[in-house]
Amino acid sequence: MSRSIPLEIIDDQEDGRSQRRDAIANRKLILRTAEKLFAERGVHEVNMADIAQAAGVGKGTLYRRFTNKAALCLALMDAQMREFQNTMLERMRTMSANGVSRLEQLMHFLDALVHFTDAHVPLLCEIQREGMVTQDETSLQLPHFWQYMTVNGLLRAAREAGEIAPDLDVDYLADALLAPLKADIFRYQREVRGFSLERISQGLQTLVSGLRVCV
Amino acid sequence: MSRSIPLEIIDDQEDGRSQRRDAIANRKLILRTAEKLFAERGVHEVNMADIAQAAGVGKGTLYRRFTNKAALCLALMDAQMREFQNTMLERMRTMSANGVSRLEQLMHFLDALVHFTDAHVPLLCEIQREGMVTQDETSLQLPHFWQYMTVNGLLRAAREAGEIAPDLDVDYLADALLAPLKADIFRYQREVRGFSLERISQGLQTLVSGLRVCV
DNA sequence: AATCATAACGGACTCAAGTCCGCTTGTCAA
DNA sequence: TTGACAAGCGGACTTGAGTCCGTTATGATT
């Protein structure tokens, strides 16, 4: 697999060193506190003032550590996010080695992403709240960017391998396939429409299958 | 065309009669004022207080006429929305009469929707701001609901006509095909990715084509 | 025309996100 | 050890959405 995905999620300021001890301590304290409150009352029901107070810290401090609620939520998912990425990269490497087609890899990726999204809807909703265009905070885009690059890369590879027609608009299709996985749409499908994970995954597979060259 | 789409967008309180003169007058006044301010400064840059003040009306009045900014924006699009719906229904009737396939009708509908969406992105962003689940205000869902029913209906008809495989999950696919047309995603594709309307439309056609039964 | 129930009005108020800025403290170099 | 200063801290403040409620206007009834 020649395609390289050089993206790492860069957390707020994670130089490691050059951070003052109290800053690092507060960061962890805030994360732990937020995690606890979110678990108790739900992400949406907890506001920033609550978190600051529960952590015994000023609002200014809270906002110095995390630009906004979205950034805080992203930081809370960081570990699992990295793990997901690494697992996926690993699996795709294995699949490639075993001659699994690119489209099948894509389907596998989307299926995994469906489960990952489901497991983190509340946080993801908060992270994506402000929409994609307004969001200046570049790091908030990174998760989506990584997903996009992955799907895009797999489609490109599929195209080169002749699995899909050579004139397909890979750049657009990657976006379109990921659109139903945006947190609020996904949540709507789950909660209002009552779709199961399998059903959603299956539906996405259908769309991917449709790209396959008709033999 | 046997499928019926009984939905009409019900505006805030549009019984017509049984509305006090001052209420009606204020409603129009507010709409005109908002339209003007939005045109001058952009939807996002104008806040509710601005509108109330410019209209020479209290905030309470503003909120009595329109539940929130989203409802106000929806009301501003109402006429064009209805026109779009009617035009579409009309065209689809014509196409059906001329033996145009359901999938082709669907493609036509999506193409038109792409242009419609593009023409109204700022208002649509505001309308869809709160996400789909939180949104209690049922009427705000109506536009999306109508679009969903249309796509869903066309897919069903296509399935019955044997244009697509009989086991496809029409309910899910309708949602998935509309997902990239949600205002914020659409706006991202247009403004950040720089996709042209033709390109987006083309991409959606590709996805629809993929559903077609391989002969 | 006067009465009155009811809807409409206005603006002060609440609530949450995010900013500002004067004070404090950890770090590093002398 | 000390002292300067960048970084961190806290909480008052700003901003905008949306609510509440006492006052006022409308129009149906008599």
Mean of the pLDDT values across residues B172-186?
Answer: 97
Say if residues B38 and B72 touch (Cβ distance below 8 Å): no
- Domain range summary for chain B, segments of one domain joined by +: 11-66, 69-211
Q: Do A171 and B193 touch (CB under 8 A)?
A: yes
pLDDT confidence of residue A119: 97
Both tokens of A110, joined, read 């989307």
Q: Which CATH number fits domain B11-66: 3.40.640.10, 3.40.50.300, 1.10.10.60, 3.40.190.10?
A: 1.10.10.60
Res A12: pLDDT: 39
To test the contact with chain B by mutation, choose from A133, A151, A164, A215 the residue with the greatest count of B C-beta atoms within 10 A, namely: A133
Q: What are phi and psi of A45, to 5 degrees?
A: -85, -10
- The CATH code belonging to domain A68-211 is 1.10.357.10
Higher local confidence (pLDDT), B206 or A11: B206
Helices in chain B by DSSP H: which ranges? 21-41, 48-55, 59-65, 69-97, 102-119, 121-128, 138-160, 170-178, 183-187, 197-211
Task: Please indicate whether, in this complex, the C-beta atoms of B169 and A199 are within 8 angstroms of each other.
Answer: yes
Q: How far is A215 from chain B (nearest CA, A)?
A: 8
- CB contact at 8 A, A34 and A51: yes
Residue B170 has a pLDDT of 98
What is the DSSP secondary-structure string of B100-122? Answer: --HHHHHHHHHHHHHHHHHHTHH
Choices 1.10.357.10, 2.60.120.260, 1.10.287.620, 1.10.1740.10: CATH for B69-211 = 1.10.357.10
- Name the percent of chain B lying above pLDDT 90: 78
**Which single residue is written with the structure tokens 């990174």?**
A142
What's the pLDDT tens digit per position in B115-127? 999 999 999 999 9
pLDDT single digits (tens) B14-67 = 444 578 888 888 899 999 999 999 999 999 999 999 999 999 998 989 999 999
Inter-chain CB proximity A182 and B179 less than 8 Å: yes
Note the pLDDT of residue A215: 66
Place of tokens 């979110």: A38
Query: Residue A2: its pLDDT value, please?
Result: 41
| Tokens 């027609």 -> residue | A165
Q: What is the mean pLDDT of chain B?
A: 90
Asked if A116 contacts A81 with a C-beta cutoff of 8 angstroms, the reply is: no
Give pLDDT tens digits along chain A (215 positions).
444 443 333 343 444 447 888 889 899 999 999 999 999 999 999 999 999 999 999 899 999 999 999 999 999 999 999 999 999 999 999 999 999 999 999 999 999 999 999 999 999 999 998 878 876 667 777 889 999 999 999 999 999 999 999 999 999 999 999 999 999 999 999 999 999 999 999 999 999 999 999 76
Q: Which residues contact residue B207 at a Cβ distance below 8 angstroms, ignoring those fewer than 6 apart?
A: A173, A176, A207, A210, B177
Q: Are B128 and B184 in contact (CB under 8 A)?
A: yes
Q: How far apart are CA A30 and CA A10, in angstroms?
A: 18
- Binding-face residues of B in 31-60 toward A, CB within 8 A: none
Q: Determine the pLDDT at residue B23.
A: 83
Q: What is chain A's length?
A: 215
- pLDDT tens-place string over residues B91-113: 999 999 999 999 999 999 999 99
